[in-house]
Structure 1
Amino acid sequence: MPRDPLPQGTAAPHGTALPADVAADADHAAAPRPRTTHEPEPQTGPVACVLTLYMLFDDDRIAAVPTRFSYDADEPFAVRLAFHTGEYDEAEWVFARELLADGLRGPSGEGDIRLWPSHCPQHGGVLRIALDSPHGSAVLEAVAAEVAQWLEGTHAVVPPGGELSPLPTDEELARLAAG
């Protein structure tokens, strides 16, 4: 069961002192989170931004993980999250845009990807993202308002429900049939 984020300062939720190297991460998390850096994109092209997510560990440690959120109208049902873990490559997850939207409102998903809203005393509404794979699992946390703002940008490109091109009208079908 996921735990709430660390309270302000360097004490773990149960009053356990954190090791010095972890305390620095906790101090970083208690500080105001960096703002989203939105890339200017045309309304018909990809929508992308980098958000700082926080990975929550079982031993109450946290780590900042810059994550690129991207959406392309050519794949209207999908969102991509690329996690910059400091390794030579990125871990990328692709899942339904609707799943992300649902996760901002309530528990969503099952199996490999689960999302749910939560509350952080310092940062307000957050979105928890739990990922499971054969290589391991992780619980990450994002500022919900930042994710919602990015998601709104994707809706400007392809409105919800507009992922499929509209069916032809009767007039268009008649013109096609006539030749």
Structure 2
Amino acid sequence: MSTAIEQTVEARLVAAAPRMPTIPATLFYDRLDPFAVRMSFPAPSTLEGVEVRWTFARELLMAGLDAPEGHGDVRVRPYGYDRTVLEFHSPEGTAVVHVRSGEIRRFLRATTDLVPVGAEHRQRDLDQDLADLLREAG
């Protein structure tokens, strides 16, 4: 059985220009890090010209499909009939992208098939995690 899910989605970057360019973005989920989702943007679509990755809670993405969620660096909210807005805040500025909600729902269904909501803790070896933390602290 696979331990990870990767799905390319079509994202529309909201910019000052009237046209919103489409960029490929990738959603990634790994059962070894069951609470987190990563979203990456390819180098040509970023101001720095390097791939940019954001990591945030799977729960945030799920909740943001139905109502505004998030108060930190990543915020998610529904927009219109079938769009979801993701805002990524950093010291350099804010990036706002629209993604089809159906694409996000399909990705989230695959993640919950891999690791059901509420069962994330079963994917972690808490004893090993604690040993790793103590080793790093010592």
SS for the counterpart of 1:61 is coil
SS for the counterpart of 1:62 is coil
Greater C-alpha Rg: 1
Higher RCO (CA-CA < 8 Å; seq separation 6+): 2
Percent identity reads: 32
Of 39, 46, 55 in structure 2, the residue corresponding to residue 81 of structure 1 is 39
Residue 53, structure 1, aligned to residue 14, structure 2: no
Determine which structure has the larger strand proportion and give its number: 2
| Counterpart for residue 136 of structure 1 | 93
Residue 110, structure 1, aligned to residue 71, structure 2: yes
TM-score by length of 1: 0.63
Q: How does 1:155-170 map to 2 (within 5 A)?
A: 155-165=112-122
TM-score by length of 2: 0.81
Which stretches of structure 1, 4 residues or more, deviate above 2 A after TM superposition?
58-61
Q: How many residues align?
A: 120
Measured against aligned partners, the alpha-carbon deviations of 1:67-125 in whole angstroms (never above 9, x if no partner) come to 01000000000000011141653100000000000011110001211110011xxxx41
Determine which structure has the larger helix proportion and give its number: 2
Structure 2: tracts of 5 or more residues without a match: 124-138
Residue 95, structure 1, aligned to residue 56, structure 2: yes
Structure 1: tracts of 5 or more residues without a match: 1-41, 167-179
Shift of residue 64 of structure 1?
Answer: 1.3
Q: Which amino acid aligns with 2:33?
A: E
Question: What is the Cα-based RMSD across aligned positions, in Å?
Answer: 1.6
